[in-house]
Amino acid sequence: MTTAAKKRKRMTIARFAGFCGGVAMAVKGAEKLLSENEVYCIGDIIHNSFVIESLKKKGLKTVSSVEEIPPHSHMIIRAHGLPLEEISSLTKKGCVVHDFTCPILKKIHKDIIQLKRKGHEIAIIGNPRHAEVKAFVSRAGEKVSVISKALDADALPYARCRAIICQSTISGDLFVSLAAKALGKSAQTLVIDTICSDAKKRRKEAVALAKKSKMVIIVGDSKSSNTMTLSVIVGKHCAVALISSADEVKKNKIRYPLAIVSGASSPRELVLDIARKVC
């Protein structure tokens, strides 16, 4: 390629592209277990079909509920965490539970339990169908509320003392706007920004790159909440192509200068594969 052509095809790969720490730990842990045992997981271990396929080949069995796991099996709690009731059912079944819940989410679990003990009613801003939020809800007591839209905030019952936290992958703007809606519904409201610091770093870098690019490729899966939030945020600044495998590159009309970023569940190798296809 000539220098002029290279200049035309200017491309930057984000520093924070590839697995986040929590995902890396879960995938590495699963691989180690699979070398010795048959292992079950409720739901996709991470939201990336590339990785899921590879682990499936190594023997990982993905099921959708506790009932599908045979007694005394080895099972993985994926990075999103699991509701307490499900962990308890698995233990009762004699399963060997390997807990790969992301440490950042584990810290939030602890905080939720402590906030509940201190007498707070807990409200979680996020998607009630997301595994992470279900795990939060199970630890938050009977008076928990999930707020996914303004109407949910309007419908909150009045509380003397409420703590508001959020799904770790939602956008900061959505968190603040929904928390603001809920403020008038309690005499004392503790609003804790539980958005993942890794996600914040990725977003900050992605926005900086988007401002200097005509297009940003976001490597990730549409099932992944952090990837979709990244996509919305980046989309405010330039064109976005959401790509989950190197094969999908050819479907997209690539524009330069280009930047490549990734969601937290996309391996760095996939990001580099895609970069090779577009440079």
Residue placing its CB nearer to its own copies in the complex, 29 or 172 = 172
**First-last CA distance in the chain:** 10
User: Least separation, in Å, of the C-beta of 191 and its own copies?
Assistant: 4
User: Least separation, in Å, of the C-beta of 116 and its own copies?
Assistant: 17
Nearest to 175 by CA among 157, 210, 140, 199: 199
Distance in angstroms (rounded) separating the CA atoms of residues 160 and 173: 26
Residue placing its CB nearer to its own copies in the complex, 63 or 113 = 113
Residue placing its CB nearer to its own copies in the complex, 123 or 131 = 123
Q: Nearest 5°: CA angle at 54, between 52 and 55?
A: 65
User: Least separation, in Å, of the C-beta of 118 and its own copies?
Assistant: 12
Which residue pairs from 175-181 have beta carbons closer than 8 angstroms and sit at least 24 positions apart in sequence? 175/125, 177/150, 178/125, 178/147, 178/149, 178/150, 178/152, 178/153, 179/125, 181/147, 181/150, 181/153, 181/154
Residue placing its CB nearer to its own copies in the complex, 192 or 272 = 192
Interface residue list for its own copies (CB under 8 A): 172, 176, 179-181, 183-184, 186-193
Tokens 């992301």, residue?
Answer: 102
CA distances, 205 to each of 12, 56, 193, 200 (Å)? 11, 33, 20, 9
Residue placing its CB nearer to its own copies in the complex, 6 or 107 = 107
User: Least separation, in Å, of the C-beta of 66 and its own copies?
Assistant: 35
**Contact predicate 266/243, CB 8 Å:** no
Residue placing its CB nearer to its own copies in the complex, 186 or 244 = 186
Q: What DSSP element (H or E) covers 162?
A: strand 159-166
Beta bridge partners of 154: none
Q: What DSSP element (H or E) covers 38?
A: none
Q: What DSSP element (H or E) covers 260?
A: strand 258-262
**Contact predicate 95/71, CB 8 Å:** yes
Residue placing its CB nearer to its own copies in the complex, 47 or 120 = 120
User: Least separation, in Å, of the C-beta of 195 and its own copies?
Assistant: 9
DSSP 68-90: GSPTT-EEEE-TT---HHHHHHH
User: Least separation, in Å, of the C-beta of 222 and its own copies?
Assistant: 27
User: Least separation, in Å, of the C-beta of 227 and its own copies?
Assistant: 23
User: Least separation, in Å, of the C-beta of 187 and its own copies?
Assistant: 5
Residue placing its CB nearer to its own copies in the complex, 177 or 222 = 177
**Contact predicate 76/100, CB 8 Å:** yes
